[in-house]
């Protein structure tokens, strides 16, 4: 699975959009980009994933660059409850070598401030 | 009720003791996983199971064993606990078709 790079921390004002970047320059064609978050020692929570098209769900939007070497998770209206560590993970979903393992890096600690 | 439950939620034990952490799920998923998390670090995979008869080691399986008693139950055992196994342990499940993992609330283990 490709390695990802995220900034260690970010701040965001409550009610504003939070844009969390992730670099994955070695991503392969069959690797998806997944985002999870972990709120203070709770179990990680799935947010969204995508292959090459932009994706949106009730929690967030995922913007993947055309060359797929980076992506941005967007929380459109951040609340205090969005304060968490956000993990960007790249992994093969199907095919040989798929262990189901998620490789969690250091993630980005997002602090939403009033 | 939560889809993925873990028991106990907190446990204090002594070096050399055998302990078991249990995980149950009501999501009907066939895949289950055990991870550990050390302070300030990401999660690391201990064991995973793709169905009842399938058990696989993860990246840090030494000192641990698992049992998949049923599709819905996956237990993690520490045969002889040692202090560096003090950590937060998470169970997760996923469906073969979707691959998204759903995590339990975690078990905080302290080995004295």
A7-15 mean pLDDT: 96
What's the pLDDT at B79?
A: 92
What's the pLDDT at B68?
A: 96
Q: Of A61, A34, A65, whose CA–CA distance to B98 is shortest? A: A34
Query: Tell me, what DSSP letter sits at residue A70?
Result: E
Query: Tell me, what DSSP letter sits at residue B85?
Result: G
Contacts of B101 in chain A (CB under 8 A): 44, 46, 100, 102
Q: Partners of B6 in the beta sheet?
A: B23
More confident residue, A6 or B39: A6
Rounded CA-CA distance B33/B23 in Å is: 9
Query: Tell me, what DSSP letter sits at residue A5?
Result: B
What's the pLDDT at A92?
A: 73
Is B6 in contact with B21 (CB distance < 8 Å)? yes
- Residue A93 contacts B, CB cutoff 8 Å: yes
Write out pLDDT tens, residues A23-66.
999 998 888 999 999 998 899 999 999 999 899 999 999 999 99
Mean pLDDT value across chain B: 93
Q: Is residue B2 pLDDT above 70, yes or no? A: no
Nearest-Cα distance to chain B for A50, in Å, is 12
Rounded CA-CA distance A1/A73 in Å is: 20
Question: Tokens in use for A97?
Answer: 């070598």
Write out pLDDT tens, residues A14-26.
999 999 999 999 9
Write out pLDDT tens, residues B20-30.
999 999 999 99
Contact B92 A43 (CB under 8 A): yes
Rounded CA-CA distance A106/A109 in Å is: 9
Query: Where does residue A111 rank: exposed (0-12), middle (13-18), buried (19+ CB within 10 A)?
Result: middle
What's the pLDDT at A45?
A: 95
Chain B interface mutation, best of A37, A59, A100, A106, highest count of B Cβ atoms under 10 Å: A100
Q: What percent of chain B has pLDDT over 90?
A: 84
Write out pLDDT tens, residues A71-100.
999 999 999 999 999 999 988 766 555 566
What's the pLDDT at A102?
A: 80
In degrees and rounded to multiples of 5, residue B39 shows phi and psi of -50, 130
Rounded CA-CA distance A114/A28 in Å is: 40
Of B31, B44, B90, the CB nearest to A100: B31
Q: What percent of chain B has pLDDT over 70?
A: 96
């Amino acid at each position: 699975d490709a390695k990802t790079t995220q900034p260690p921390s970010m701040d965001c004002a409550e009610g504003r959009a939070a844009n969390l970047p992730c670099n994955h320059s070695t991503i392969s064609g069959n690797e998806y980009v997944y985002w999870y978050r972990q709120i203070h020692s709770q179990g990680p929570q799935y947010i969204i994933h995508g292959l090459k098209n932009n994706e949106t769900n009730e929690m967030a939007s995922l913007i993947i660059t055309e060359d797929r070497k980076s992506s941005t998770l967007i929380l459109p209206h951040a609340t205090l409850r969005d304060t968490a560590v956000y993990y960007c993970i790249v992994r093969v979903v199907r095919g040989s070598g798929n262990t189901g393992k998620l490789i969690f890096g250091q993630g980005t600690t997002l602090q939403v401030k009033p | 009720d939560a889809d993925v439950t873990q028991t106990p939620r907190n446990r204090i034990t002594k070096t050399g003791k055998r302990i078991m952490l249990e995980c149950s799920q009501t999501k009907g998923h066939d895949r289950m996983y055990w991870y550990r998390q050390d302070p300030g670090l990401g999660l690391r995979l201990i064991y995973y199971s793709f169905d009842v008869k399938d058990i696989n080691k993860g990246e840090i399986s030494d000192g641990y064993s698992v049992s998949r008693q049923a599709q819905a139950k996956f237990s993690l055992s520490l045969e002889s606990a040692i202090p560096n196994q003090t950590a937060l342990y998470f169970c997760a499940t996923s469906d073969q078709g979707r691959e998204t993992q759903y995590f339990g609330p975690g078990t905080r283990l302290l080995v004295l």
